[in-house]
Amino acid sequence: MRALESKLLAAATRLVVFRSAEIARLVGVAPAVVSRTLGQLERAHHVTRVVRGVWAVSKHPRFSPYIVVPYLVDADPERAKCYVSFVSALSLHGMISQIPGAIHVAVQQQRRPLLTSVGQYRFHQIDRPLFDGHEAGDAYGRFHVANPTKALFDTLYVAAGRGRRFAHLPEVELPKSVTDVAMQRWISRITSPIVSSAVNARWQAVRVTARRMV
């Protein structure tokens, strides 16, 4: 392996997920040279091109397809307005046993689905007054995930919308933190009485069928 390839791979391994421009600044090499060298590292199976301009060391033990999310939403991942939610967050919290085929992400502006080399991502718009209720998704804070109550609320909220996504939920287990009081706090923030009523009706139906986590 050439010296530049070794230097780039060492930097990439520290970052795990990164943009071409980010690693170019880090190692002090022209972007065109970095892109060409990353292509060589990709062909040698050392790095993976996620989407154009975004790369990952997908074999790294700290890699997860969830940490890619902020890089897909904003050029600066630290400013990205997004968090993992819906059935993906329900699965992460152990509230459903099924593992979704795509990672579902809450965003403030609707985006097209993305099929990448590390996973499929689907984006769902959440109104800004409701864009809250998330926390660090891992010990490094590399992505955010909705807390259990917000994950279920987001799912029911989108299900009540025009697209009817998540209209048929699998069996749900509710942790102790997910209570009617906690859910009603979120429902009360919905500005549309029609949507609020629809979400509440779905929530009451879930309460009847859901099991409580031990």
pTM to 2 decimal places: 0.92
Would 3-56 and 65-212 be classified into the same CATH topology? no
pLDDT in tens, the chain (214 residues): 688 899 999 999 999 999 999 999 999 999 999 999 999 999 999 999 999 999 999 999 999 999 999 999 998 998 999 999 999 999 999 999 999 999 999 999 999 999 999 999 999 999 999 999 999 999 888 999 999 999 999 999 999 976 668 878 888 999 999 999 999 999 999 999 999 999 999 999 999 999 888 6
Q: Give the whole-angstrom CA distance, residue 82 versus residue 73.
A: 7
Q: For the chain, which residues make up each domain, given as ranges?
A: 3-56, 65-212
Instruction: State the fold for domain 3-56.
Output: Arc Repressor Mutant, subunit A (1.10.10)
Q: Output the CATH code of domain 65-212.
A: 3.30.460
DSSP 56-123: E-TTSTT--GGGGHHHHH-SSGGG--EEE-HHHHHHHTTS-S---SSEEEEESS----EEETTEEEEE
- Tell me how crowded residue 206 is: count the other CB atoms within 10 A of its CB: 18
